[in-house]
A and B are shown apart, each in its own frame.
Chain A
Amino acid sequence: MAFKNFKSVRNIAIFALALFAAVLLPDWVVDFFRGAFAEFRAPLEAIPSQLNDLRKFWSLKSNTKLELIEAGRDLARLNSAYELKVMENSSLKLQVERLEELLSLPSQERYKMEIARVASRDINAWWQQVTLRKGSLHGIKEGYAVIYGGGVLGRVCEVGLYTCKVELVSSRDFRIACHIKGDDRPIIYQGLGGVSLRSFGGEIRDVPADVEETSGAVIVTSSLAGSFPDGILIGEISSLKLDSDEIFKSGTVRLNPELSAVKEAAVLIPVGDIGK
C-alpha cells in the first residue's frame, strides 16, 4: 500500500516537475535546452535531404555512356557560352571599379551569396518555415535575407551550427518595407500565413491612394528594408481597395506557388559582416 502511494506521488511529481519547468524556468534556461536539443536534432533533420542527394547521385550513375557523352556535349556548349559571359562580366566589373575609384563612390558590392539546400519544410497553421543546410559555421546570422529564383524567399529567423531556419515571405511574422515596381513610394508588406492548400499570399498597406489596380503590377523589395537589396520580386498585386481614411489603399498580394517547392536558396550575407 505504502509502495503504491509512493508510486502515485512519484508519478504526479514527475508531471509536476515538467509543468514547473514550463512555467517557472527562466528564459535563459529554456533557451539553453532549446539550443542543445536543436543542435542534437540538426543532423537528423538533414538526413532526408542528404538521402535525396544520394538517390540522385545513384540515378545519374546508372546512366549509359551514350547518355553521359550527350550530356557532356550539351554541357560543353553551355560552358563555352558561360565563359564568354564570365569574360564580359569581369570586364564590366573592372569598369565599375575604375569608375567608382574615379568618382570616389562607395562600392556597389554589398552582399555575398551563400547557396544552401533546403533540408525540410514546415508549412502549417502555426509556422511557415524552411530549414537550410547551412548555419553559423558558414557565416549566416539571424535577420539575413534569403532569396531564390522566384524572388524573396524569406528571412533567417534562427541559426544553428549547421542549419538555419528561414521565415517564409508568406508567414504572418514576415513584415517588410517594399514598393511597387516603377513607383518608389514605400509601402508595407506582411504575409497572410498558412492559408489552405498551398495558396500563398500577403497583404499590402499604406499604398498611396493615387495608385490604380493594374493587372501584372508587382511589388519589389525596398532598400529601406535593411537586409534586402532594392528591387527583388516579392509578388503580384491581386487586389487593391481604398481604406476608410481615404488616404491610403490596402490590398492583397499573390505569391509564387513555387515558394513551397524551393530546393535551393541563397542567403545574402552583407559584405561588411564577412569575417566578423
Chain B
Amino acid sequence: MFRRFDVCIWLFLVLNALYWVAVSALNTCAQGYFYLVVPALFIVPAALYMNYVSMSIVVVFSAMASFSNADVNPFLIAAVWLMAAWLVNVCRFRLRTGDYMTTVSVSLLVNMFLILCYAVILPCGVYTAGEYVKRILVDAATSGLFILAVGNFCAKLPVCIMDYFGIDITMNEEI
C-alpha cells in the first residue's frame, strides 16, 4: 500500500505542521486586520507528489489537527479537504510541468474552492450577510496574495528536501 512514499508521509506531516505554525503566527500578528485562510498549502503538495492512500492520511490528519479546536465537525472538514485533494491528485499527471504558473494556479483554485466551502459550512460569526461576505472577500484576497508569494515554494520544498536525501519524488500517475 505504501510502496513508494512511506517516508514522505512523515515529511509532509512535519512540513504541514511548520506551515501551520507560521500561518498561525502571521494571523496572530495581523490582529484582526486580515486572516490568512490557506488550506491549499497543506493539500496541494501532498496531492501532487503522493499516491492516493498516503495523500489521504496526510490530508485527513492535517484537517483534523487544523480544525480540532473549531466549532465544526472536523470529519466534515477532512472530507472536504479530501475531495479537493482527490481532484488535484487525479489530474496531477497533466500538471507535471510543475512550473510557477501551474503550481500557483492550482493552489489558488483549491484555496478559493475551500474558502467557498468554509463560507457555507462554518458558522457565520458576523451580524449581517453583507459584512460576512465583505470579510470573507478581504480574507480570500489576502490569502490569495499570500499563496502567490509562497505557493510555489511550498510545493517545491518537499521535492528539494527528498532530493537532498537522494530520493526522487515526481508527479507520476499512480502505479
Q: Which residues of A contact B (CB under 8 A)?
A: 7, 10-11, 14-15, 18-19, 21-23, 25, 30, 33-38, 40-41, 44-45, 47-49, 118-128, 131, 158, 165, 171-173, 192-198, 200, 203, 260-261
Distance to closest chain B CB from A176 (angstroms): 16
Do A120 and B24 form a contact, CB below 8 Å, given A14-B53, A30-B73, A158-B69? yes
Q: Can you list 28 A-B pairs with a CB-CB distance of less than 8 A?
A: A14-B53, A15-B79, A23-B76, A37-B64, A37-B65, A41-B65, A41-B69, A47-B21, A48-B28, A118-B28, A125-B126, A125-B132, A126-B70, A126-B118, A126-B123, A126-B124, A127-B70, A165-B69, A172-B126, A193-B125, A193-B126, A193-B127, A195-B135, A196-B131, A196-B135, A197-B32, A197-B138, A198-B32
Which DSSP category, helix, strand, loop or mixed, fits chain B's interface? helix
| Contact in complex: A18, B79 (CB < 8 Å) | yes
| Contact in complex: B86, A11 (CB < 8 Å) | yes
Residues in B neighbouring A44, C-beta threshold 8 A: 17, 20-21
Distance to closest chain A CB from B111 (angstroms): 15
User: Which of A7, A128, A194, A203 gathers the greatest number of chain B CB atoms within 10 Å?
Assistant: A194
Separation of A14 and B126 alpha carbons in the complex (Å): 35
Separation of A158 and B24 alpha carbons in the complex (Å): 18
Separation of A39 and B97 alpha carbons in the complex (Å): 40
Residues in A neighbouring B127, C-beta threshold 8 A: 172, 192-193, 195, 203
User: Which of A37, A172, A198, A203 gathers the greatest number of chain B CB atoms within 10 Å?
Assistant: A37
- Chain B count of residues within 8 A CB distance of the other chain: 49
B35 is an interface residue with CB less than 8 A from chain A: yes
Instruction: Kindly identify which residue among A37, A121, A203 contacts B68, using a CB–CB cutoff of 8 Å.
Output: A37
Do A196 and B134 form a contact, CB below 8 Å, given A15-B83, A34-B68? yes
Do A194 and B135 form a contact, CB below 8 Å, given A18-B78, A22-B75, A48-B28? yes
B110 is an interface residue with CB less than 8 A from chain A: no
| Contact in complex: B139, A22 (CB < 8 Å) | no
Do A30 and B74 form a contact, CB below 8 Å, given A15-B83, A41-B65? yes
Distance to closest chain A CB from B72 (angstroms): 8
B112-155 interface mask toward A, CB cutoff 8 Å, 1 = contact, 0 = none? 00000011001111110001101110110000000000000000
